[in-house]
Structure formats: C-alpha cells, structure tokens
C-alpha cells in the first residue's frame, strides 16, 4: 500500500508541476526556442506513457531507496540525480542529433527535470511514510 501511495502522490505532484511549467511558466520560452518542432496539439497518449514509465523509475530509483534509508533527503537527492540523468540523456541526444536544438533549452530542461523529479520523489516518499504510519 505504501508503494501505491508513493506512486500516486509522486504522479500527481509530477503531473501538476510539469503541466504548470510547460503550460504557463515556461510556455513562451519553449515556443520561442522550439516553435519549429512543437506539435499542436501535443500527443497525449505519448505524454501519458512517459509519465507512467518515468514514475515507475522514480519509485524504483529514488523513492524505494529513500524509504529504506528512512530519509526524505535521499528521495530528493536520488530524484534530482535521476531527473538530471534522464532529462540530460534526452537533451544531450537532441543536441547531438537535431539541427537547431538550442543549448539554452537543454540546460533549462535538464535543471527542470532534476528539480521536478526531486520534488515528486520527495512527495512520494512522504506519502508512503504517512500511509505506513
């Protein structure tokens, strides 16, 4: 039950923050830099699949170790590292293979991935601890 609570809490936090980031806070930034690549509307099934799979990774690589260590700091640290690794892989691959992928977008996106994943992992670990008592 604790892992289900962790997955759901991390997922809600991740989705809400990411949608706010992409749809409000950084919307113009991404449009100014990537307008030539953006889909309108975006591919919802692909986005949902990303969230489902990525959150399983957050649970396994950040939340579970945090629960074992009984440390929310571990959730934040492992979440940040996972986010930087995952988003960095995506952005560095785009820099290597796509014409006109801006370095600034890559750097902002990598930092966002780290922060977002850290917050989601911490929320998930906190939810699991609440359920576990």
Check the CA dihedral 64-3-51-121 and report its sign: negative
Residue 114 CB partners (closer than 8 Å, separation 6+): 79, 80, 81, 83, 84, 87
pTM of structure: 0.96
How many domains, in total, are found in the chain? 1
pLDDT by residue (tens digit) across 39-84? 989 899 999 999 999 999 999 999 999 999 999 999 999 999 999 9
Residue 24 confidence (pLDDT):
97
Range of the domain at 30: 2-132
Inter-residue contact 74 to 65 (CB < 8 Å): yes
Contact 119, 83 (CB under 8 A): no
Q: H or E element: which one contains 78?
A: helix 72-97
Contact 36, 72 (CB under 8 A): no
């Amino acid at each position: 039950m604790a892992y289900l609570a962790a997955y759901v809490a991390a997922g809600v936090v991740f989705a809400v923050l990411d949608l706010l980031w992409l749809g409000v806070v950084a919307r113009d930034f991404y449009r100014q830099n990537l307008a030539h690549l953006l889909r309108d509307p975006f591919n919802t099934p692909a986005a949902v699949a990303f969230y489902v799979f990525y959150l399983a990774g957050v649970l396994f690589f950040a939340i579970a170790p945090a629960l074992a260590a009984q440390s929310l700091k571990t959730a934040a640290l492992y979440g940040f590292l996972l986010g930087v690794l995952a988003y960095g892989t995506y952005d560095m691959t785009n820099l290597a293979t796509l014409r006109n992928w801006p370095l600034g977008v890559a750097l902002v996106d990598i930092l966002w991935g780290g922060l977002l994943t850290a917050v989601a992992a911490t929320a998930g670990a906190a939810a699991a601890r609440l359920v576990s008592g």
